[in-house]
Structure 1
Amino acid sequence: DKGKVRRQSRCSYDQNERGAVKAPSNQLGWKGVQDHLEDAIGKLKPLNTVSLSVSSRTDTGVNALSNSAHFDLQRRKDKPPFTAEILVEALNFNLGAEQIRITRAHRVPDDFHARFRAQSRTYVYRIALGISHNSKLPLTESDLCWNLRDKKLDVGAMREAAALLVGTQDFSSFRAVSSDIHIISPLKTLDVATVEPGSSFVSAHFHREIPFWELTFTARSFLYKQVRRMTGALVAVGRGQLSVPQLQGILEARDSLSYPRGIVAPARGLFLTRVDYKETDMQLSQQTSEEQFTSNGNSED
């Protein structure tokens, strides 16, 4: 049906009390980011029942500056497809006061899948030092970083430990128990694990300097809570609670029970910042573009 168009949208959102994916049907009154997006698409009155596929299923309380999703949108045959610009504006209008915004939209091939075609995902974890209580943070940082009482971390040791995590290896020790633990392979390839200075969102205007650090991780995919567990372990190294050899021992144990209790980083400091795709996976074929132009009298990027 040439009236049916597959779309890929990129969106950003602040912490959501139910995470990125749909809330379970037995939890009435709760909504995830996916629920809100599907409600916004439904207000466009599509002919089909829209089901959104999200690229990265962020946990409850995690932020995203650039998540992505795809969906099929079917309009009446006498109506042309929405342009990317109109679709973005309409969805953001329909989202209302929700802390979710669509940043870009693209028409993509029928076989494109936002989750399975992703080539890499990048997460950044933000840490503020020397904060004895959350009230001492700028309001713009409230619940958007992990505030530690420590005034310093052994960054050199943290970087040495982070280097041990890079590469293809079994990350069983760094995943939390979940319903799909026996289905998903623990072998993952971590391309990037860095520890670098960061800054407050209002560093130029706040009345005092707060040291910030950012831990960045890039991989094609991650295990359940893997980033928060890696972050917690690296911070434990920086605090002197774990040595670099001890972290290596945890990794080599390949057992989630070997991960020390009480050191998992909280969700609030974690940001999904990038989801990257191959340009060729997102490009419509010349034939498809010509067919849509002929049938709808409308073309767009």
Structure 2
Amino acid sequence: MIRYKAIISYDGTLFAGFQRQPSMRSVQGELEKTLQRLNSGEQVQVHGAGRTDSGVHAYGQVIHFDLPQDRDLEKLRFAFDTQTPDDIDVVSVEKVSSDFHARYNKHLKTYEFLVDNGRPKNPMMRHYATPFPYELDIEKMAEAIKDLVGEHDFTGFTASGTSVVNKVRTITRAEVSYDEKSHLITFTFTGTGFLYKQVRNMVGTLLKIGNNRMPVSQIKTVLETKDRQLAGPTASGQGLYLREISYHDEMTKGD
């Protein structure tokens, strides 16, 4: 068997999430249906680097899968791309070693979260940015977001009911920017991994801070107390994008 790694992008609007689900449309399910057709009807299992929720988008999701044949990479990418639905794009395909695993190999993930701060909100962005048509202090959010950088226990930013025991994660980059022309605010987070709804909960807290309904120190308070009730609400999923995944061997090339 030959193992292939692919980078895919998708519009998450009409998906119930990345993970295959019974009787619901998923990114994994659509990819596996396409690969089955390309593999003479034989089933092919797709493994993703991470799961995205309903409505969440991706520019750089990474998957891997095995095929019995050694395929021409561009022909495989083209066939894979053109036979998947229009809301999925196959950006690249490459061969990797048989021990590569999209999820378990060490990597960094980068997420972006878009907020439409326009008044009135832009209807064209309703599936691609979370509307927040209220006054926001960008400088306060820029100051507060710095407290997320580093290794922390993110229990206070985790959705209730998660089964993950170890909630310590490392964030290497946390930034916020504002585009005056489009009225879009972009939050960017890079880290070793993120807990269920962690990014959306961090954004919800930062928006409360920017709206002067929480102090700038609230991020520190939530991290120290590990109390979810002290964080902001969960921001809606349509503003979230899986931007990029960088694997350890890619990050160290040239060192």
TM-score by length of 1: 0.78
Quick one: which of 70, 81, 90 aligns to 1:102? 90
Choose between structure 1 and 2: higher strand proportion: 2
1:48-95 CA distances to partner (integer Å, 9 max, x unpaired)?
6311110021111111011010011114xxxxx111101111112221
1:21 paired residue among 19, 25, 28: 19
> Which residue of the partner structure matches residue 276 of structure 1?
246
- For the aligned residues, what is the CA RMSD? 2.2
Question: How many equivalent pairs are there?
Answer: 252
Contact persistence 1:55–1:118 (CA under 8 A): no
- In structure 1, give the amino acid aligned to 2:8: C
Structure with bigger gyration radius: 1
Residue 8 in 1 paired to residue 5 in 2?
yes
Q: State which of 171, 178, 184 in structure 2 corresponds to 1:190.
A: 171
Q: Does the aligned pair in 2 maintain the 1:154–1:238 contact within 8 Å?
A: yes
Listed as ranges, the gaps of 5+ residues in structure 1 are: 76-80, 200-208, 284-301
1:210, distance to aligned residue in structure 2 (A): 3.2
CA contact (8 A) 2:218 2:231 kept: no
Counterpart in the other structure of 2:126 = 142
Amino acid corresponding to residue 119 of structure 1 in structure 2: H
1:212 Cα offset (Å): 1.6
1:14-69 deviation digits (Å, cap 9, x = unpaired): 0143101111x3xx2x1210000000000012586311110021111111011010
Which residue of structure 2 aligns with residue 112 of structure 1? Answer: 100
State the Cα distance separating 1:169 from its structure 2 match.
0.8
Residues 1-301 of structure 1: pairs in structure 2 closer than 5 A:
4-15=1-12, 16-23=14-21, 25=22, 28=23, 30-45=24-39, 49-75=43-69, 81-95=70-84, 97-135=85-123, 139=124, 141-150=125-134, 152-181=135-164, 183=165, 185-198=166-179, 209-260=181-232, 263-279=233-249
Are 2:138 and 2:178, in contact at CA under 8 Å, matched by a contact in 1?
no
Counting aligned pairs with the same residue, the percent is 29
Q: Provide Cα deviations, 1:167-226, integer angstroms capped at 9, x if missing partner.
A: 001000001024523x4x110001111011247xxxxxxxxx432211100001100000
Q: Which runs of 5+ in 2 are unaligned?
A: none
